[in-house]
Amino acid sequence: MKTTRWLAAACIALAGVVTASAQDKGLENPRSTTFHKTLEGKKVVFLPLSMGFDLTEGWAAVMRQQAKRLKYSFEIRDPAWSTDAGTKALQSLISEKPDLIVAHNPDIQSYARLLAQAQAAGIKVVQINLESNTQTDSYVGADWTEIGEQAAQAVVDKCSAGKGASTKVAIDTGVPTAASDVFQLDGIYRVLNQHPDIQVVSQQATEYNPEKARSIMDTVLQQHPDLCGAIGIWDNQDTGTASAIQQAGKSAQVFLVTSGGGNKVGCENVEKGLFNLYISYNVPLQGEILNAEIARLLLSDGAAGETKTLYFNPLTQITKANVNQRNCWTLDDLK
């Protein structure tokens, strides 16, 4: 009897030691292993409008970090603002067959067919911030209609009859065929059509050029010294619009709304009082969502183009009251 008891006790003790040693080493998570193994060695290519400006540099920095962490390759094909070079890059990518392309569209038409072809060739496609007419595996970015609506609403609040110096509003667009322009204008007019008292006195394209934006606003202010509001399509160009308003001594009278990625440079202009309202689509946030979509699509067994999703990221309205580190970023923060 005594011996049996001793044996049992020894067995229990041994089992305890074995279990304890198993817990010391931890438990393998099979999902983690699969996650890393599946992503390792995949190939992701980013086709921006052009590198060298806050949005594309920001997204690239965030994407590069994830690629490094998850050991997949990340390449950039920079067409440097040339739609032609972008089209050629896309054509060669279709034959190279990377696992995923992140495309930033110069306009709604140019890449539409090629993106469909890429998916037909088995390449998954995520579009970032500027859509094309083709819906692909995923779109991550701003809802330009929503930006237009928010901008127009802000201007209506300041300039509807009896509120401002007049009910006159000017609109500065960028390149007339870009998604940002066509969808944002739709959003703007959806709101303005409900407020017939608001008068759009000028609507001009600036080619995203601040000096041209400045000249246009100079001329508009000469024609309409009582201008009440202005909507610009991009903070980079609207620095010029804001300078014209400031130099005409009309900063207190003209309410300027712009939008952008929330780079510190744009925020500086809010602090200086050049922009009254800055609608930010938050590049670091977009970068993170983009990364989640890249990982999700690379892990998925589904064929390219099988399911199509999109996510319009939240927008932040930045004014003098909430310019802070959370809303504004520098490239060094992301690297």
Interface residues with another protein (CB under 8 A)?
50, 52-54, 57, 80-82, 176, 201-205, 207-211, 213-216, 218-223, 236-237, 239-240, 242-243, 247, 265, 268-269, 274, 331
SS3 category, 243 = helix
Decide whether 60 or 290 has the Cβ nearer to another protein: 60
Decide whether 175 or 315 has the Cβ nearer to another protein: 175
Decide whether 139 or 329 has the Cβ nearer to another protein: 329
Q: Do residues 88 and 111 make contact, with C-beta atoms less than 8 angstroms apart? A: no
Decide whether 174 or 305 has the Cβ nearer to another protein: 174
3-state percent breakdown (helix, strand, coil) of the chain, nearest 5: 50, 15, 35
Shortest distance, position 61 Cβ to another protein, whole Å: 10
Shortest distance, position 282 Cβ to another protein, whole Å: 18
Convert 286-310 to b/e letters by CB count within 10 Å (16 or more is b).
bbbbbbebbbebbeeeeebbeeeeb
Quick one: which of 224, 150, 216, 137 has its CA closest to 183?
A: 150
Shortest distance, position 158 Cβ to another protein, whole Å: 22
Any alpha helices (H) in the chain, and if so which ranges? 2-25, 30-39, 54-70, 83-96, 112-120, 144-159, 179-192, 210-223, 235-247, 264-271, 283-299, 331-334
Decide whether 265 or 315 has the Cβ nearer to another protein: 265
Shortest distance, position 281 Cβ to another protein, whole Å: 17
Q: Do residues 235 and 262 make contact, with C-beta atoms less than 8 angstroms apart? A: no
Give the Cα separation of 210 and 24 in Å (integer): 62
CB atoms inside a 10 Å sphere around CB 92: 10
Shortest distance, position 77 Cβ to another protein, whole Å: 15
Decide whether 96 or 226 has the Cβ nearer to another protein: 226
CB atoms inside a 10 Å sphere around CB 80: 11
Shortest distance, position 248 Cβ to another protein, whole Å: 9
- Four-residue CA torsion sign, 85, 87, 90, 95: negative
Shortest distance, position 189 Cβ to another protein, whole Å: 15
Give the Cα separation of 136 and 117 in Å (integer): 11
Decide whether 248 or 315 has the Cβ nearer to another protein: 248
